[in-house]
Amino acid sequence: MAALDYAPPPSRQRGRRRLMRGALALLVLFAIGSAGWGLETYRRAEARRQAIKLQRDTTRARFDAELQRAATAAAGRDFSSALTEADSAEVTRDADRALFDSTELAAMDATLAATRRQIKEQMTSLGHPEPAASARTETVCRSEIIPDLITRCRGHVDAHRYTQALAACEQVLVLDPGNEYARGLRPLLEVQVNLASPTPRPRYD
């Protein structure tokens, strides 16, 4: 007995074609949406990388400029200003040290140490007494370093760079443990850093 050929009614065939076209349209929309989401994620990540690179370059340029001013002041026998600039370079490095890897930090440390050594050698050769470190540090901290660190901290917070903001905040507290702004902000920054990190950051109260 010959097999019978079965053809579905035209209405059912049209229904299947509509269903297939609808499914295909959904797949196309999903693919477009996924591509758009992926592109937006990439753009945001790239913008963040560029912002971090800009901040790192700016910090390094500032660090180098402060050491250059220190060397220039020492050459002019203005040793107090030379030591002040070297102190400022140290704070610049510490405020944004989270931006640099260990190799970069080691290079900055070596450059800073060499500059200080040269200043002190010049002072010794001329019989010039070194200013009291405590008095120099107090003057620099109050007039220049702490306000600058707070400004940087606010900039990092505005840009959602909480790790860098916390580093700047903690540097303020090293120089001025009673600073009300830094004491109030640090717990909030620690929360933000811990939320973004898989390993909770320990607190040092």
- Asked if the model's pLDDT at residue 64 lies above 90, the reply is yes
Residue pair 177/145 in contact by the 8 Å Cβ criterion: no
Pair of tokens at residue 194: 């811990």
- Asked if the model's pLDDT at residue 9 lies above 60, the reply is no
User: Quick one: what percent of the chain has pLDDT higher than 90?
Assistant: 18
Question: pLDDT tens-digit profile of 154-195?
Answer: 888 888 888 888 888 888 888 788 899 999 999 999 988 888
Q: What does the mean pLDDT of the chain come to? A: 78
Cα three-residue angle 186-189-192, rounded to 5 degrees? 155
Question: pLDDT tens-digit profile of 97-114?
Answer: 778 888 998 999 999 999
**Cα distance between residue 204 and residue 195, in whole Å:** 17
> For residue 50, what pLDDT band results from cuts at 50, 70 and 90?
confident
Domain boundaries, the chain: 34-131, 132-205
